[in-house]
Chain A
Amino acid sequence: MNLFYFIAFLSIFFSLLVIFSKNPVYSVLYLIVTFFTLTIHYILLNAQFLAIVNFIVYMGAIMVLFLFVLMLLNLNEDSEPMKSNLIKVAGVVAGMCLLVTLVGSFRALGDSDPLILKNPEIGLVKNLGKVLFDEFLLPFEISSILLLSAMVGAVLLAKKDPKKI
């Protein structure tokens, strides 16, 4: 339990660093560390497949995408748009509203009944595969269509049509 509190503290600390660091590249690097702490959380929950997926896909691949997006933007200091204080205040108000809504909805959903797992090994790859290919087969196959549409969208957006030029 102590380990959980330590890791939770680390994740909150690094996610705050993501917000407060001035350099966007440092933000992304802190985000990688945040994801790493989330991986440790998954391992502590014995959700080992999710931990590995989080490690490989989020920490590896998606962070590369984030860095690429940063590089695609023009990050010269002189072209940095001015962030007025009004926008910052508006952002804080909006974030607080979201927090209040989330907390209120969680409270309205009733007493926080701790989820009691019937099978503590449900997060292992083998058991997850059994559930995925039996009970949740349809969402699994639909996710392939989601990936397909993402592929088509990326190609359409990023590839210029040679006929039009």
Chain B
Amino acid sequence: MEAQSTPVSYLPIIFQMIVALGFVVTTMIATHLLGPKRKTKDKLTPFESGIEVIGNARQPFSIKYFLVAILFVLFDIEVIFMYPWAVNFREMGMEGLIEMFIFMGTLLLGFIYIIKKKALDWE
């Protein structure tokens, strides 16, 4: 029988998160309280390589970014499915290998399709 794993095992992670978040929050509050504040109009403008700000930041942008992101999500899900397989890799042996390869082969077809369609090419 494998080791008992309960929600209590996550307590160290929660402590680590509290410490990490707490450090960020304390430093941000401390800098706000300690630092001098001399705000001028020039200091408050958005800085982008010294170029003057033109127009609005809320411009609709190209769908190519979205395509890359959604393909990333799909392959991300594929990788997620590999975890339960990898943990049981030795026990399932050849059978599990074939099962997983069918799954991965289908997605490899999709990958070939993407490459052939040049969907990831940046024109």
A binds B: yes
Which residues of chain A in 33-75 are interfacial with respect to chain B, using CB atoms and an 8 Å cutoff?
43-44, 46, 48-49, 52-53, 56-57, 61-62, 64-65, 68-69, 71-75
Chain A residues with CB below 8 A from B69, complex form? 61, 64-65, 68
Among residues of A, the one whose C-beta sits closest to the C-beta of B9 is A48
Chain B residues with CB below 8 A from A61, complex form? 69, 72-73, 76
Q: A43-B7, A71-B61 are in contact. List 10 more A-B contacts (CB 8 A).
A: A64-B69, A121-B2, A124-B2, A126-B87, A141-B106, A144-B103, A147-B110, A151-B114, A152-B110, A155-B114
On whether A144 and B99 interact (CB within 8 A), knowing A151-B113, A159-B117, the answer reads no
Among residues of A, the one whose C-beta sits closest to the C-beta of B89 is A129
B77 touches A68 (CB 8 A): no
Which residues of chain B in 43-91 are interfacial with respect to chain A, using CB atoms and an 8 Å cutoff?
56, 58, 60-61, 63-67, 69-74, 76-78, 80-81, 83-85, 87-88, 91
B119 in the interface (beta carbon within 8 A): yes
**A128–B83 alpha-carbon span in the complex (Å):** 10
What does the 1/0 interface line of B29-49 toward A look like (CB < 8 Å)?
A: 000000000000000000000
A96 in the interface (beta carbon within 8 A): no
B99 touches A133 (CB 8 A): yes
- For chain A, what secondary structure do more than half of its interface residues adopt (helix, strand, loop), or is it mixed? helix
**A65–B78 alpha-carbon span in the complex (Å):** 17
Q: Contact check: which of B2, B5, B87, B109 meets A129 at CB < 8 Å?
A: B87
**A141–B22 alpha-carbon span in the complex (Å):** 44
For the complex of A and B, the 6 pairs showing the least CB-CB separation, nearest first, are: A129-B84, A151-B110, A144-B106, A158-B67, A129-B88, A61-B73
